[in-house]
Amino acid sequence: MAYTFKGGVWPDDHKYTKNVPIEEFSAAAQVSVSLSQHVGIMCKPVVKVGEKVRMGQLIGDVPGGLGCPVHASVSGTVVRIDEVTAQRGGTSYNIVMENDGQNTLADTVQPFGKTLSEATSDEIIAAVRAAGITGMGSAAFPTYAKLAAARGKVDTLIVNCIESEPFACASHRLVLEDPAAIIHGLKIIMAALGIQQAWIAVEGSRKEERAALQPLVGDGGLIQIKKVTSKYPAGSEKQLVYALTKKEIPAGRTPLDVGIVVFNAQTCAAVFEALAKGMPLIRRIVTVDGDCVKNPKNLLVPIGTPISDLIAYCGGLCAEPKKIVCGGPMMGQAQWDPNTPVMKTTAAVLVLSEYFDYDSKLPAVCIRCGRCVRACPMKLMPLKIASAIEAGRVEEAAALGATDCIECGACSYICPGGVPVTQLSVRAKMAVLEQRRNDARHEG
């Protein structure tokens, strides 16, 4: 029996690159490394325009507070620093480097040099920070900060191998091609946290993933493989923890409150790379797919590679594109610039034609079918939140739990009337938070 949770949807999985091995692509002429790829404070550049940089060299860092350093993903020259509009609004900066194609490694890229039994927890966490590792699922929370917060609070590590977003195969290919990196990373994290138990969560329908991982973990040990129902959003942290422990984590709280910490499989592999080779997080696996891409592929690319280069490397376009999405189709963001660089969290680049564009030509009307209520993994009533915010009733939206929304997109996906339920729920959430901030200001 697979572990499961209530709600969710079953979109077509579109995993066309499931059997396409990872290919390396690092020939981009220029890469632009964003200085804000993580939750927390934006990095300050530590290199100047015109400076020669080597692969793995620190190029941006946060002096203090929550943040995560960034590194040069190629060797070459810094040509300029671009000011760009960040996806969620606000200004951000990209360090643009010309790739000399040599991949000359920086001197700082040195293995950790200690065995796990010798190393202290602080040393491991410092190494993870130095490597600039963030959560590679979607949240982009700095991994060192999560480790530091989890230390002493948790007894179980969950490694999340679930990729419930359609199209995305990055995690799947990693599990098949380099399961050892994940297991080594898992052991490093367990050592850093001083815990004995770990669960590897794998989708029930992914037999081949379990077959790849099973020989490395053995039977009956403290590291166990757990099957989770294949549905969306099984990879969401709260739903995953609930499926495995039957404990619901309330809004505003994290798995740490129930003694659990969750890391993405790719994050684990990045931790292993960082300690074994000293290689910071400068590359990631990206699924390039969508009905406009001629030869969909899974590519291992330097962070900062423009997505247009990835599309060109995959044979270019074979249909008229309408949207380019970074991330999966359920939660990914549509891009306005085809030269947007790959970030630490970009699991997929999808070029979608009109075929995927939902346009019924009729106005969006809620017919009260209740499908969004059944689909919501947070057990909210999305239709009620949506109608409350459309009428400007912020308090009603708050009472309905709008701030609990995890923005998974299940309600919009399932809505027969074409109502943008997720968008309205997010608007409600923002309005409620805004009102709370204003109230706090007036009281203070």
Site for other proteins in 265-304 (CB under 8 A): 292
CA distance 152 to 245: 19
Q: Rule CB under 8 A: choose which of 338, 390, 396, 435 binds other proteins.
A: 338
Q: Rule CB under 8 A: choose which of 86, 222, 367, 433 binds other proteins.
A: 367
Phi-psi region of 212 (alpha: psi -120 to 50; beta: other; left: phi over 0): alpha
CA distances from 311 to 315, 316, 320, 321 (A): 7, 5, 13, 11
Tell me how far, at minimum, the Cβ of 116 lies from other proteins, in Å.
30
Residue 70 · residue 134 · CB < 8 Å: no
Interface with other proteins, residue 352, by CB under 8 A: yes
Interface with other proteins, residue 90, by CB under 8 A: no
Tell me how far, at minimum, the Cβ of 234 lies from other proteins, in Å.
14
CA distance 440 to 166: 41
Interface with other proteins, residue 310, by CB under 8 A: no
Contact residues for 156 (Cβ-Cβ < 8 A; gap 6+): 195, 197, 198, 199, 259, 260, 261
Interface with other proteins, residue 373, by CB under 8 A: yes
CA 209 to chain centre: 20
Residue 37 · residue 343 · CB < 8 Å: yes
Tell me how far, at minimum, the Cβ of 433 lies from other proteins, in Å.
17
CA distance 280 to 57: 9
Report the 10 Å Cβ neighbour count for 339.
11
Interface with other proteins, residue 100, by CB under 8 A: no
Q: Rule CB under 8 A: choose which of 4, 276, 356, 430 binds other proteins.
A: 356
Closest to other proteins by CB, 16 vs 356, is 356
Interface with other proteins, residue 89, by CB under 8 A: no
Site for other proteins in 128-167 (CB under 8 A): 166
Interface with other proteins, residue 234, by CB under 8 A: no
Interface with other proteins, residue 119, by CB under 8 A: no
Q: Rule CB under 8 A: choose which of 332, 349, 385, 397 binds other proteins.
A: 332
Q: Rule CB under 8 A: choose which of 66, 365, 391, 433 binds other proteins.
A: 365
Interface with other proteins, residue 235, by CB under 8 A: no
Tell me how far, at minimum, the Cβ of 138 lies from other proteins, in Å.
11
Q: Rule CB under 8 A: choose which of 48, 88, 246, 442 binds other proteins.
A: 246
Among the residue ranges 139-147, 150-158, 212-220, 320-328, the one whose residues contact other proteins (CB under 8 A)? 320-328
Site for other proteins in 168-227 (CB under 8 A): none
CA distances from 48 to 44, 54, 104, 169, 176 (A): 11, 13, 19, 37, 40
Report the 10 Å Cβ neighbour count for 62.
20
CA distance 191 to 115: 11
Peptide bond into 166 cis (omega under 30): no
Our CA dihedral for 70, 73, 78, 79, rounded to 10 degrees, sits at -110
How many residues bind other proteins (CB under 8 A)? The answer is: 78
Interface with other proteins, residue 4, by CB under 8 A: no
Tell me how far, at minimum, the Cβ of 319 lies from other proteins, in Å.
6
Q: Rule CB under 8 A: choose which of 149, 225, 276, 331 binds other proteins.
A: 331
Using CB under 8 A as the criterion, what x/- string covers residues 65-84 for binding other proteins? --------------------
CA distance 342 to 334: 13
Tell me how far, at minimum, the Cβ of 224 lies from other proteins, in Å.
23
265-276 vs 121-130: helix axis angle to the nearest 10?
Answer: 100
Using CB under 8 A as the criterion, what x/- string covers residues 408-437 for binding other proteins? -x--xxxxxxx-x-xx--x-----------
Q: Rule CB under 8 A: choose which of 29, 66, 369, 391 binds other proteins.
A: 369
Report the 10 Å Cβ neighbour count for 261.
24
